[in-house]
Amino acid sequence: MLFDASKLIEIDKLGDERGLLTVIEENITVPFEIKRVFYIYETKSGVRRGFHAHFKTRQALICVSGSCKVYLDNIKRKKDVLLDSPNKVLILEPNDWHEMYDFSSDCVLLVLASHLYDAEDYIRDYNKFLEVYS
Ligand code: T46
């Protein structure tokens, strides 16, 4: 299976004297149709969440308030990404094992997803992840 590498993109801050506005459009800013939107907030201090990859779902993660970090592992490379601005968009591919951590108390992590929720689309066992994507 071939997937693009995850990407951190910085999108335009459209601003005037009233403040800022940032736009995300499907198939333009994010490389997929947006089927689902959810957000993670009021995360307790020290919590680490995620710990999975997907079979199909592509996602875009944006900290619309506060900050958090995302640990990524696609077997070929492992890295940590800081999301600390509403104009930073992290595009995750299905084969990106991801863990979110270091949530600030005001963090609102917005997630745009390419598929509707399906518990069967999750790979939550790391050995299974290695089996599927190695
Ligand atoms: C991801 C990261 C970034 C639903 O019922 N519908 C949904 O659309 C979602 C996303 C979750 N849920 C339920 C499933 C669990 O009972 O909400 C509960 C918490 O979900 P989960 O433990 O999967 O949350 P995270 O933070 O580990 O992962 C979430 C997304 O599930 C996942 O796709 O990539 O955020």
* pLDDT surpasses 80 at 10: yes
Average pLDDT over residues 35-47: 98
b (16+ CB within 10 A) / e for 30-69: bebebeeeeebeebeeeeeebbbbbeebbbbbbbeebbbb
Q: Is the CB of 39 under 6 A from ligand 1?
A: no
Q: Is the CB of 41 under 6 A from ligand 1?
A: no
pLDDT in tens, 70-115: 999 999 999 999 999 999 999 999 999 999 999 999 999 999 999 9
Q: Grade residue 34 by pLDDT with cuts at 50, 70 and 90.
A: very high
Average pLDDT over residues 50-72: 98
Residue 97 confidence (pLDDT) = 98
Q: What's the 85 CA to ligand 1 centre distance in angstroms?
A: 22
- ipTM value: 0.97
Give the domains, in start order, of the chain with CATH numbers.
Answer: 7-133 (2.60.120.10)
**Mean pLDDT (the chain, rounded):** 96
Phi, psi of 130 (to 5 degrees): -65, -40
Please tell me the distance from the alpha carbon of residue 108 to that of residue 125, in angstroms, as a whole number.
Answer: 26
Q: Is the CB of 94 under 6 A from ligand 1?
A: no
Query: Which ligand 1 atom is the nearest neighbour of the CA of 57?
Result: 33
Strand partners, 90: 8, 61
Residue 108 confidence (pLDDT) = 98
What are the structure tokens assigned to 16, written together? 């005037």
Q: What's the 17 CA to ligand 1 centre distance in angstroms?
A: 37
Residues with active-site annotation: 52
* pLDDT surpasses 70 at 2: no
What are the structure tokens assigned to 35, written together? 């089927």
Residue 1 confidence (pLDDT) = 63
- SS3 (DSSP) at 121: helix
